[in-house]
Structure 1
Amino acid sequence: MEGKERFLFGRGEKLADHVPYKGGFDNSLPPYSLSEQVERLDSMLETLEKDFKEIPKDALADGNAVAALTLHPKYVARSGFPEYLLNAFSLRLVGSKPQKSKPDAGRGSDKEEGVASTTLYVAGEFKSFSKLRKSLSGIEEGSKLSKEIVKVERLEVFRAEDRLLGEFDKEENNLEVVVHFDSAVDLDWESDFVKFAEKSHISLDMSRSYQTRGLLFLAAKGDEESVKELAKFSFVRAIRKMPKLRTISQPKLVRSGGVARITIPVEKALDESFKVAIFDGGLPDDHPFGRWAKNIEPSSNFNIGDAIPELQDHGQAVTSALLFGNVQPGALERPYAEVDHYRVLGDLIADDSLYDVMLYVDNVLSQTNYPLVSFSIGPYQVAGDDEVTAWTSMLDDHLGEGDILAAVAVGNDGDRGWPESRIQVPSDSVNALAIGASDGFHEGWCRAPYSSIGPGRSPGLIKPDMLAFGGIDSNKFKFLFPGPVIAEDRGTSFATPAVMRIAAGLRAYFGNALTTPAIRALLIHSADDNGHAREEVGWGIVNPDIRSIVTCEDGEIKVLYTGKLEPGKVLRAPIPMPDEVLAGDFTIKATFCYSCSTDPHMPGEYTRAGLDVKFRPNKNKFKKDKLYPDTASFFGRHEKSNEQELRTDAHKWDTVRSNTVKKRGSSLVDPVFDIHYIAREPGNSVTPVRAGKLSYALVVTVKSNRIPDLYEKVQAKYLSSLVAIQPKIEIPIALGV
């Protein structure tokens, strides 16, 4: 239909309202009888007491040893946490990790390879564990304690060798030491730990450390024997070699005719009310970006050193990609926003400099308020399933409030064997967009062979989040360099700022009408996977055309819902439909995005917020004795869910959910999403009392081939609530990246 341009509807949250929540109950029998479990636990505690006696007294953090308590696979959900058991014997949860377990009885006991469970790291004095053993004979059937102890599958000492990750050189190693540490309660033994490290001949660099929720990350040096000694300290979580920074390539100048036909715009950025931050190799004095880009040098406090020309070339390329996309001869488009480029690389950067760079980035993010940030650097470290790294922790700490949208390059090792081909830290951040590279935007595009692949960690399995063109050998990504001339290279380093360019365009055209979570949701919602596997492309390739992201075609509506969810409550979000009998097929696509606080010491329960979303397509269809209309499948489990996810609905804790379903029009009567915000925190089996509200964004697209004026009919029906989000200035007809 010809006529006025149809922009997506905003204020979808005005249609929403709260409804009561009704949960279910698990009344199935425990895997062990009380008498069986008492006998099992008594034997475990006897061995545990013997092992504890072998621990040197000066290796105990304030007199506390740490035991590894593995839950029976039946009890890995939040409600199965043995809160009463720990509290009754003054035991403290200091961390956890996901782990496979073959139980002696019950679910998973027939699986030789074991099934997914959780190991809790539990700290306490010797007397606490002794008290537990003495109490076993007096536990009564049906008591709270009897219901708690059956959850324990194994209880054993957290051994020093289990804290060593990877191989170590016999001579000196640059180390990363991870310690269970809560600054509110653990300050008393910090000096004891330093003394124990000195005794172990480990050189701790306390000035290069990062404190996050439940963990302290430290830089250190020591040989193989010293590492083994330090691992005996009870609150050490892990020791590994310090990861190195990823290598950065130097773009090459194009030596072909016609490259001088570049016209650089003279206008200021489209929107000067915000800036985008880049962390990379810096910009030379003669960079060609004029008023749009500012180079910010590090102070000497951060041990970055002087600029290196090769790294500045990389920084120029990244900045060019964010300002102009993939440059072609001719007139360049006006940048959407200005860039502050922080030089975080220099001639003092060495193999042990990871923390120098990370702490500088942390310092900048702590003192600024950029809405958009781009990272094409990071550790040369493959994401793991059972440990969270300092870089990822730092980034998620800053992104958890949802005020910043960060894009992180996934790495360029996708053509190597597994697991080296997996995404690299910190692109496993659940609050960031992990960006891979495609070989182009043409029909039949695919992942560039070098682009690192998923999955990410759980929660956060869908990584990369999306791809953008990053160049290949036969068609490299092109940049504006001084001259002006064109340089070229390939890599996820350039796909990443290209995605941030589209994000900056959305922010520039729509201003505060689009929140940061809304921009993230729109980018993912409009991505196209072209039929490729999730681990290859995530949600798909970014849509380079801003107009198509925010406008509706014939027979289509797009609705944006934003706001804050309250913990434990259910928000019912109606999907707008016209007032008529619905004929034919309807396609409904929905994308949820949110950011939240994280718990790095609990990688299996990393995110503190989850969404249980139920799709109810027909308000008139009920099962017998049901309070709410029937549900239909929408956000199912991931295609390659592991067993833990299948049993605990771990996909509910992912910060991004997106899917498309097709329904007959006759089956849709006032369809809704019921959105239940589930909050959690370590040590709680129920919703924490002080959980904060959760900022979210939901984008819903409805398509019908039978109703070309669907947009106009919905607009007329919801005239008093839904409002089309209009750009501040006209969007050009065609935009590239």
Structure 2
Amino acid sequence: MAEKERFLFGRGEKLADHVPFKSGFGEPVPPYKLGEQVGRIGQMLDDVITEIAATPKDALADGKAVTSLTLHPQYIARSGFPVALLAEYSLRLIGSKPSKSKPKSGRGSEKDAGIASTILYVAGSPESFQDFKNSLVNLDEDSKVSDDLVKIESLELLKPEDRMLGEFDESSNKIEIVVHFDSAVDIDWEADFQRYASKSKVKLDMSRSYQSRGLLFLSAEGTEASVQNLAKFSFIRAIRKMPVLRTVSRPQMLRSTGSGRLSIPVDKALDETFKIAVFDGGLPGNHPFGLWAKNIEPSGSFRIGAPIPAYLDHGQAVTSALLFGNVQPGSLERPYAEVDHYRVLGDELTDGSLYEVMLYIDNILSQSNYPLISFSIGPAQVAGDDEVTAWTSMLDDHLGEGDILAAVAVGNYGDEAWPDSRIQVPSDSVNALAIGASNGHHEGWSRAVYSSIGPGRSPGLVKPDLVAFGGVDDNKFKFIFPGPSIAEDCGTSFSTPAVIRLAAGLRAYFGNSLTTPAIRSLLIHSASNPGHPVEEVGWGVAESDIRRITMCQDGEVKILFTGKLEPGKVLRAPIPLPDEVLKGDVIIKATFCYTCTTDPHTPGEYTRAGLDVKFRPHKNKFDPKQKKKDSRFPATSAFFGRHTQSNEQELRTDAHKWDTVRSAKVKKRASSLSDPVFDIHYIAREPGNSVSPRRAPKLTYALVVTVSSKTTPDLYEKIQAKYSALVAISPRVQIPIAINV
């Protein structure tokens, strides 16, 4: 019997409406009495003032020192930010980072290893800190400044050794300097910093720098002694050795076995209205992708150099994976879209050329509008919990608007000892898909042993997002090379473009009916994980059949919601069910995706947008603790719980709300469901603000919901009949039935 053409429903947002916001939180009990805190903080300020006086004057940016202010763990939420205290003493927040703290009293004081907290980097003049100290004896107990004072666990001057990350060679080092810098505020002391660096005998390359929100990333060179001296400069956040680019492997040619021939298509791409950008080693002049791929040589203003044969082979393999996937003998399907392959690797690159490649890519992305991008290269640098790198910042800056879907390979270090096995930068980007490798996608699949593992940073703990077949020793990923012939290799370099190929297929078949966030949501939503650790495979292995991603089986219905959320408001999204009462168990799966602006100088509060999603399964059931029943707010039930966390990283109290991807499923008895809904509260934030910013942008989102009921094979038709606003999203051309996927 032919499969019924039941494609997912769109326009779910037409069913949604706004409801009032209902808060359920109170103020925490302060961990310290004001009198006790005045004595504690007063002594800390005495130490800070003494140490500032001993600091060279020319090491103080605009005459200001920088302190690390650790908040008590009870106050790490946005509402706990000490706005009044900083304003009172003309102190400026220039950054922050997540940390662990064992407070003297209050929540977490019983934990020897400490619990999640936040360090604020606070800048001020010597006079500001002296005024702070002098005023302590006269604080009004009912003032906002007093309320803020009890939130402080510790306060100390940031020291040079705090800024030096890792070891340095006594002789010359290629280094990366991260400076707290806001171009609108700090431009007056930029020249002073350059003079101090010259005095410290550190050679800055100001032409190779990247400015993001609150941070300036610089390429430089210096000895261990010069780095130690430069680290005294107050607004420096970090100095580390410059990471190098990851190595790329050269695919091996297969000997002809006579077991089958390749038939390369002669048709143009299925959709010629868009192109995919690839950044890799380039394409050789005789590459077999003339109809669909264009090699673009690097600009002469960037020191990339001439092509290298091994890098060209790698770029050719990546392009083959994007156009055709893992090739098998026989006739290949024509590609979904054309590819612009930017050669970003060459013979002039050295261990200090990381910024050269990054800035070249930044330049391209600033002048183009590709909807899909594939990265199989990046720094040989593991993601960290408390620092954001230049590459990740650059990528998130470009992806924050939601018009681009980028996939980034997580790296091939999964068989190394922790932390070297952790995902590689910039796959920790919260606005991108981080792709690992599996040894297959049929039953019994698992992570390829070389595929780097998570978790990512918080927010963004679930990394990789997806895995896809990347080849293993006894079953390697196969590519088309000139001839045509077949080459083979293994790596996340190839699983990554294979996932972007799926995204291109969704766009080619469904056009503008699927937004970029919708494509991202569908890829994650359709992934399957039979029980592998989230740290290894993320949300699971990517579904390789576009029909299965977009079609509904018997007893199943998929609904897509897209649109923009307004800051501070609550959108109520109904979960469609038929009028009749269903029987047995009902499974509801939901996946939210969005992209947003990020703040690399405050990695603990990296994303500016979060979702507080409440699941209300039954319209007539209410929380017994609710003093006064309000028919608008039925009882909630667990749906999106916290992610699995590793021993190395404690999840912050509300961090899961700020993840740009949320996916989960629940099983409910049908009798427990009556007009179920998701209440979606968009929370906006910005560094240094304890309340939501007034002018936060609307948030572009996509939500995919699947409802499954084995006892109702015609569920799709019943939903279609009940909800006239829902419209099936049909492909523009027939999607072929996949064979041997």
Relative to the length of structure 2, the TM-score reads 0.98
Equivalent residue number for residue 733 of structure 2:
729
Equivalent residue number for residue 660 of structure 1:
665
Q: Is 1:101 equivalent to 2:105 in the alignment?
A: no
Q: Distance in 1 between matches of 2:705 and 2:252?
A: 43
Q: Is 1:227 equivalent to 2:231 in the alignment?
A: no
Q: Distance in 2 between matches of 1:488 and 1:580?
A: 54
Which secondary structure does the structure 2 equivalent of 1:245 belong to? coil
Q: Distance in 2 between matches of 1:256 and 1:646?
A: 52
Which secondary structure does the structure 2 equivalent of 1:612 belong to? strand
Is the 8 Å Cα contact of residues 117 and 644 (structure 1) preserved in structure 2? Answer: no
Residues 134-283 of structure 1: matches in 2 within 5 Å?
134-258=134-258, 261-283=261-283
Q: Is 1:30 equivalent to 2:30 in the alignment?
A: yes
Is the 8 Å Cα contact of residues 67 and 158 (structure 1) preserved in structure 2? Answer: yes
Is the 8 Å Cα contact of residues 278 and 374 (structure 2) preserved in structure 1? Answer: yes
Is the 8 Å Cα contact of residues 278 and 340 (structure 1) preserved in structure 2? Answer: yes
How much has 1:26 moved relative to structure 2? 2.3
Q: Distance in 2 between matches of 1:24 and 1:454?
A: 33
- Provide Cα deviations, 1:674-707, integer angstroms capped at 9, x if missing partner: 0000000001000001110000000000000111
Q: Distance in 2 between matches of 1:697 and 1:642?
A: 32
Residues 82-93 of structure 1: matches in 2 within 5 Å?
82-93=82-93
Equivalent residue number for residue 708 of structure 1:
713
How much has 1:260 moved relative to structure 2? 6.9
Equivalent residue number for residue 414 of structure 2:
414
Q: Distance in 1 between matches of 2:740 and 2:266?
A: 19
AA partner of residue 154 (structure 1) = S
How much has 1:328 moved relative to structure 2? 1.1
AA partner of residue 388 (structure 1) = V
Residues 292-307 of structure 1: matches in 2 within 5 Å?
292-307=292-307
How much has 1:300 moved relative to structure 2? 1.1
Q: Distance in 1 between matches of 2:393 and 2:259?
A: 43
How much has 1:27 moved relative to structure 2? 3.3
Query: Could you say if the C-alpha distance between residues 6 and 260 of structure 1 is closer, same or farther in structure 2, counting changes exceeding 3 Å?
Result: closer
Matched length: 736
How much has 1:76 moved relative to structure 2? 0.4
Q: Distance in 2 between matches of 1:259 and 1:520?
A: 37
Is the 8 Å Cα contact of residues 164 and 238 (structure 2) preserved in structure 1? Answer: yes
- Provide Cα deviations, 1:611-640, integer angstroms capped at 9, x if missing partner: 000000001111242431000000011122
Equivalent residue number for residue 343 of structure 2:
343
**Backbone CA RMSD of aligned residues:** 1.3
Equivalent residue number for residue 117 of structure 1:
117
Q: Distance in 2 between matches of 1:312 and 1:387?
A: 33
Equivalent residue number for residue 558 of structure 1:
558
Q: Is 1:640 equivalent to 2:653 in the alignment?
A: no
Q: Distance in 2 between matches of 1:216 and 1:440?
A: 42
AA partner of residue 728 (structure 1) = R
AA partner of residue 129 (structure 1) = F
How much has 1:2 moved relative to structure 2? 6.6
Which secondary structure does the structure 2 equivalent of 1:291 belong to? coil
Is the 8 Å Cα contact of residues 372 and 404 (structure 2) preserved in structure 1? Answer: yes
Equivalent residue number for residue 567 of structure 2:
567
Query: Could you say if the C-alpha distance between residues 736 and 457 of structure 1 is closer, same or farther in structure 2, counting changes exceeding 3 Å?
Result: farther
- Provide Cα deviations, 1:19-73, integer angstroms capped at 9, x if missing partner: 0002134234201101001111111101110111111000011111101000001
Which secondary structure does the structure 2 equivalent of 1:447 belong to? coil
How much has 1:239 moved relative to structure 2? 0.2
Equivalent residue number for residue 519 of structure 1:
519
AA partner of residue 443 (structure 1) = E
Q: Is 1:133 equivalent to 2:133 in the alignment?
A: yes
Q: Distance in 2 between matches of 1:616 and 1:349?
A: 56
Query: Could you say if the C-alpha distance between residues 475 and 3 of structure 1 is closer, same or farther in structure 2, counting changes exceeding 3 Å?
Result: closer
Equivalent residue number for residue 14 of structure 2:
14
Unaligned runs of 5+ in 2: none
Query: Could you say if the C-alpha distance between residues 473 and 644 of structure 1 is closer, same or farther in structure 2, counting changes exceeding 3 Å?
Result: closer
How much has 1:449 moved relative to structure 2? 0.3
Is the 8 Å Cα contact of residues 115 and 644 (structure 1) preserved in structure 2? Answer: no
Query: Could you say if the C-alpha distance between residues 148 and 210 of structure 1 is closer, same or farther in structure 2, counting changes exceeding 3 Å?
Result: same
- Provide Cα deviations, 1:350-387, integer angstroms capped at 9, x if missing partner: 10000000000000000000000000000000000010
AA partner of residue 429 (structure 1) = S
How much has 1:3 moved relative to structure 2? 6.9
Equivalent residue number for residue 695 of structure 1:
700
Residues 590-609 of structure 1: matches in 2 within 5 Å?
590-609=590-609
- Provide Cα deviations, 1:153-173, integer angstroms capped at 9, x if missing partner: 001001110000000000000
Unaligned runs of 5+ in 1: none
How much has 1:648 moved relative to structure 2? 2.3
Aligned sequence identity (%): 72
How much has 1:735 moved relative to structure 2? 5.8
Query: Could you say if the C-alpha distance between residues 3 and 141 of structure 1 is closer, same or farther in structure 2, counting changes exceeding 3 Å?
Result: same
Equivalent residue number for residue 479 of structure 1:
479
Is the 8 Å Cα contact of residues 408 and 496 (structure 1) preserved in structure 2? Answer: yes
- Provide Cα deviations, 1:288-326, integer angstroms capped at 9, x if missing partner: 001100000011101001111110000000000000000
Which secondary structure does the structure 2 equivalent of 1:670 belong to? coil
How much has 1:192 moved relative to structure 2? 0.2
When structure 1 is superposed on structure 2, of 476-485 and 110-119 the one drifting more is: 110-119
AA partner of residue 32 (structure 2) = Y
Is the 8 Å Cα contact of residues 609 and 684 (structure 2) preserved in structure 1? Answer: yes
Is the 8 Å Cα contact of residues 458 and 651 (structure 2) preserved in structure 1? Answer: no
Is the 8 Å Cα contact of residues 383 and 428 (structure 1) preserved in structure 2? Answer: yes
Q: Distance in 1 between matches of 2:648 and 2:466?
A: 26
Which secondary structure does the structure 1 equivalent of 2:240 belong to? strand
Query: Could you say if the C-alpha distance between residues 649 and 314 of structure 1 is closer, same or farther in structure 2, counting changes exceeding 3 Å?
Result: same
Q: Distance in 1 between matches of 2:487 and 2:259?
A: 10
How much has 1:645 moved relative to structure 2? 6.5
AA partner of residue 565 (structure 1) = L
